[in-house]
């Protein structure tokens, strides 16, 4: 297994182009199953999760061609089939549950394994299933598999018991071809959902209320394949800003949407960094009076849970105390033990992390436990004295494109080393 060797202490400097958003691309790739013909997706990031979802839709009958260099994915759909997907395909990625929406819409049946994904707590899919049931789908759970059947999908008024990005996406995809008016309440406002909605609209879907808590879908008979460009990845953008912040560097993100990461840039400004935003750019430089912060993860436009681990690395070195409260996932502090090995002073009480900052981090062998925990370790290692070896980097391969190349281009001393013992 490959590992990273990072020699910390280099100030990052320069411009970095942000890739397409993983969490928008995943449902959009799956949603292409809703129309026969050829869909062309641009700005698709070349990531492990993307390769996995491509295999998933191929398994369901789509033909694909991924030009990784140019980030263009062509998806040809003529006949799709339902079928229990091999467990190895779904076990690594929770987003595989997204196939339920399109399969139910087109075939009235879907069989999937209960999904895996990051090891961050329970992550059930009960809201997805309750929504499908409201649309007249019969759900059975057998041997770790979900079996969903409907003679005909019915439009529904459905209120999600809690905001769920995945359930909002899945129910939108299920209802676009269902004749009648479906009203989804307590929807996720995440830009990824808006991007999916814009893609579906371009295909001919009749959707209103995107980016609000109530999304209304009037079913149409047929969707037409289109060419669509995936929006930029706000979590990758946030991760690079934090890498710039922790090294006290001068980093400019290009090809990003500044508004999507405003909760982070607000926090960075309060913590003593200068932030300059352009139309599609954000620049960070160190300012005066750096200090700790208090933050709570929340659904968009609140602070994203996917940046909770990365921001904790920054808290470790900022003077003063930072308080971080995780409200979205119940087991999302697996990076804490590893950050402590680098010298962070973090205590955890339930879902509250208290970080005593101002620490000088020092290298140590550490390992990633999930995708965003992995990002936090890379960020911390960039600031740590000495050479840090990070194992299990397959986690960050799921969601960060060309991480080594991008960080090296900013002046980081990072190498991906082949082989390793665990």
Q: Residue numbers of the site for ligand UD1 (CB under 6 A)?
A: 23, 26, 94-95, 122-128, 162, 164-167, 192, 305-306, 328-329
**Toward ligand UD1, which CB reaches closer, 342 or 401?**
401
Would strands 37-42 and 227-229 be described as parallel, antiparallel, or unpaired?
parallel
N- to C-terminal Cα distance for the chain? 7
In terms of Cβ atoms closer than 10 Å to its own Cβ (0-12, 13-18, 19+), residue 142 is exposed
Q: How far is the CB of 174 from ligand UD1 (least distance, A)?
A: 14
Q: Measured from the CB of residue 372, what is the shortest distance to ligand UD1 in angstroms?
A: 7
Using the minimum distance from each CB to ligand UD1, give the nearer residue, 30 or 282: 30
Which DSSP string do the residues of 60-108 spell out, in sequence order? TT-EEEEETTTTEEEEEES-----PPPHHHHTT-GGGGGGHHHHHHHHS
- DSSP-based three-state secondary structure for 162: coil
Q: Which entry of 21, 118, 171, 317 is annotated as an active-site residue?
A: 118
**Structure-block tokens of residue 256:** 């990003």
Task: For residue 256, indicate whether it is catalytic.
Answer: no
Residue 59 CB contacts under 8 Å (≥ 6 apart), including other chains: 83, 85, 86, 89
Q: How far is the CB of 332 from ligand UD1 (least distance, A)?
A: 8
CB of 272 to ligand UD1, least distance (A): 27
Which residue, 26 or 364, is less far from ligand UD1 as judged by CB?
A: 26
CA dist 361 and 339 (Å) reads 9
Question: Would you state the structure tokens that stand for residue 327, as one six-digit string?
Answer: 């409200």
Phi and psi, residue 137, nearest 5°: -90, 135
**Are 292 and 315 in contact, with CB atoms under 8 Å apart?**
yes
- Of residues 65 and 126, the one with the C-beta less far from ligand UD1: 126
Residue 357 Cβ, how far from ligand UD1 at the closest point, in Å?
25
Q: Which is nearer to ligand UD1, 236 or 273 (CB)?
A: 236
* Active-site residue list: 118
């Amino acid at each position: 297994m490959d590992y990273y060797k990072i020699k910390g202490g280099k100030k990052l400097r320069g411009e970095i182009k942000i890739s397409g958003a993983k969490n928008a691309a995943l449902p959009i790739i799956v949603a292409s199953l809703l129309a026969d013909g050829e869909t062309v997706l641009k700005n698709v990031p070349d990531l492990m999760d993307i390769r996995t979802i491509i295999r998933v839709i191929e398994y369901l009958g789509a033909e694909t061609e991924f030009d990784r260099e140019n980030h263009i994915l062509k998806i040809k759909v003529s006949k799709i089939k339902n079928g229990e997907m091999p467990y190895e395909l779904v076990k690594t990625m929770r987003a595989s549950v997204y196939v339920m929406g399109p399969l139910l819409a087109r075939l009235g049946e879907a069989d999937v394994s209960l999904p895996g994904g990051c090891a961050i707590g329970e992550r059930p899919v009960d809201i997805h299933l309750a929504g499908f049931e409201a649309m007249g789908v019969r759900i059975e759970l057998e041997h770790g598999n979900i079996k969903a059947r409907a003679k005909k999908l019915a439009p529904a008024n459905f209120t999600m018991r809690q905001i769920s990005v995945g359930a909002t996406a899945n129910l939108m995809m299920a209802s676009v071809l269902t004749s009648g008016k479906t009203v989804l309440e307590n929807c996720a406002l995440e830009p990824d959902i808006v991007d999916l909605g814009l893609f579906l609209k371009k295909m001919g879907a009749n959707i209103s209320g995107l980016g609000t808590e109530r999304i209304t879908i009037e079913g149409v008979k047929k969707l037409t394949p289109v060419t669509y460009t995936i929006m930029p990845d706000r979590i990758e953008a946030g991760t690079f800003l934090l890498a710039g912040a922790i090294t006290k560097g001068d980093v400019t993100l290009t090809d990003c949407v500044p508004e999507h990461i405003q909760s982070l840039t607000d926090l960075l400004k309060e913590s003593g960094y200068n932030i300059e935003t352009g139309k599609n750019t954000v620049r960070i430089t160190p300012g005066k009076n750096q200090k700790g912060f208090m933050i709570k993860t929340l659904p968009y436009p609140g602070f994203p849970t996917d940046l909770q681990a990365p921001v904790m690395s920054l808290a470790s070195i900022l003077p003063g105390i930072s308080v971080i409260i995780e409200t979205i996932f119940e087991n999302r502090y697996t990076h804490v033990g590893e950050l402590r090995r680098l010298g962070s002073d973090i205590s955890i009480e339930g879902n509250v992390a208290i970080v005593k900052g101002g620490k000088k981090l020092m290298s140590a062998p550490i390992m990633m436990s999930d995708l965003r925990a992995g990002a936090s370790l890379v960020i911390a290692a960039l600031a740590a004295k000495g050479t840090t070896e990070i194992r299990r980097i397959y986690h960050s391969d799921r969601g960060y494109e060309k991480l080594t190349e991008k960080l090296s281009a900013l002046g980081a001393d990072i190498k991906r080393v082949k082989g390793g013992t665990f």
